[in-house]
C-alpha cells in the first residue's frame, strides 16, 4: 500500500471506478444473455461474462486490501449495465456486439491509461499494474470478438457507438467521485 497520501488517493479513485466499471460490464453481458441465452453467440457472451466476473472479483479483493469503499452508485451500475445489455441484445446480435465494441474500447483505453499513470516509484504497485495490463488486453479481446461478430455492421452503429461511449465516459467521471 502506498505511504504517500496523494498516491493513496489516486489509487483509491482508480480502484473504485474500476470496481464500478466491472460491476456494469458483468451486468451488460448478463443482460445480453437474458435475451440471447439460446443463440449460438451465447457461448462467446458467456466467455466474456466469466472474464468480467473474474475482473470484478479481483477488484472486490483490491478494495478490501486498499480499504477503499465501493461506489455508492453500485446498484445503479448494476441496473444500467443490465438494461444496456438487454436493450441492445433485443435489437439483435449485431447491436449487442456494437455495444460491446463501444464499451470495451473505452474500458481498454481506460486501463491502458491507468496502468501508465500509477507512480513507478511504488514497487508495491507493480502487481497492480500487471493486473491492469492483463485486464486491458482482455477487454480489447472482447472488442475484437464483437468485431468478428459484425458489431460494426449493426444498423446505426456510428451513432450507437458515440452515445454509448459518451455514457461510459460520464459513468467513469461519476464513479471516480461517488
Residue nearest Fe ion by beta-carbon distance? 55
If the CB atoms of residues 110 and 142 are measured against Fe ion, the closer one turns out to be: 142
> Minimum distance from CB of 138 to Fe ion (Å)?
6
Question: What distance in Å separates the CA atoms of residue 26 and residue 30, rounded to the nearest whole number?
Answer: 6
If the CB atoms of residues 19 and 142 are measured against Fe ion, the closer one turns out to be: 142
> Minimum distance from CB of 31 to Fe ion (Å)?
14
Contact, 65 vs 166, CB < 8 A? no
> Minimum distance from CB of 3 to Fe ion (Å)?
29
Question: What distance in Å separates the CA atoms of residue 125 and residue 35, rounded to the nearest whole number?
Answer: 40
Question: What distance in Å separates the CA atoms of residue 91 and residue 46, rounded to the nearest whole number?
Answer: 19
> Minimum distance from CB of 46 to Fe ion (Å)?
13
> Minimum distance from CB of 45 to Fe ion (Å)?
11
Can you list the alpha helix ranges (DSSP code H) found in 37-125? 42-66, 74-90, 93-117
| Binding site residues, Fe ion, CB under 5 A | 22, 25, 52, 55, 139, 142
If the CB atoms of residues 2 and 98 are measured against Fe ion, the closer one turns out to be: 98
Handedness of CA 45, 49, 55, 59 (dihedral sign): positive
If the CB atoms of residues 27 and 142 are measured against Fe ion, the closer one turns out to be: 142
If the CB atoms of residues 28 and 160 are measured against Fe ion, the closer one turns out to be: 28
- Kindly state the cell numbers that stand for 124: 508495491
Question: What distance in Å separates the CA atoms of residue 88 and residue 73, rounded to the nearest whole number?
Answer: 22
Amino acid at each position: 500500500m502506498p505511504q504517500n497520501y496523494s498516491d493513496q488517493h489516486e489509487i483509491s479513485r482508480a480502484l473504485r471506478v474500476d470496481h464500478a466499471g466491472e460491476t456494469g460490464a458483468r451486468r451488460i453481458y448478463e443482460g445480453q444473455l437474458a435475451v440471447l441465452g439460446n443463440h449460438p453467440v451465447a457461448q462467446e457472451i458467456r466467455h466474456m461474462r466469466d472474464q468480467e466476473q473474474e475482473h470484478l472479483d479481483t477488484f472486490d479483493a483490491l478494495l478490501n486490501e486498499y480499504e477503499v469503499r465501493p461506489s455508492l452508485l453500485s446498484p445503479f451500475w448494476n441496473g444500467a449495465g443490465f438494461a444496456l445489455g438487454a436493450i441492445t441484445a433485443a435489437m439483435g446480435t449485431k447491436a449487442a456486439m456494437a455495444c460491446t465494441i463501444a464499451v470495451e474500447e473505452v474500458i481498454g483505453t481506460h486501463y491502458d491509461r491507468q496502468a501508465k499513470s500509477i507512480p513507478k516509484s511504488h514497487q508495491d504497485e507493480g502487481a497492480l499494474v500487471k493486473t491492469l495490463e492483463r485486464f486491458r488486453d482482455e477487454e480489447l479481446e472482447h472488442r475484437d470478438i464483437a468485431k468478428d461478430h459484425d458489431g460494426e455492421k449493426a444498423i446505426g452503429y456510428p451513432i450507437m457507438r458515440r452515445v454509448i461511449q459518451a455514457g461510459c465516459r460520464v459513468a467513469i467521471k461519476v464513479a471516480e467521485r461517488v
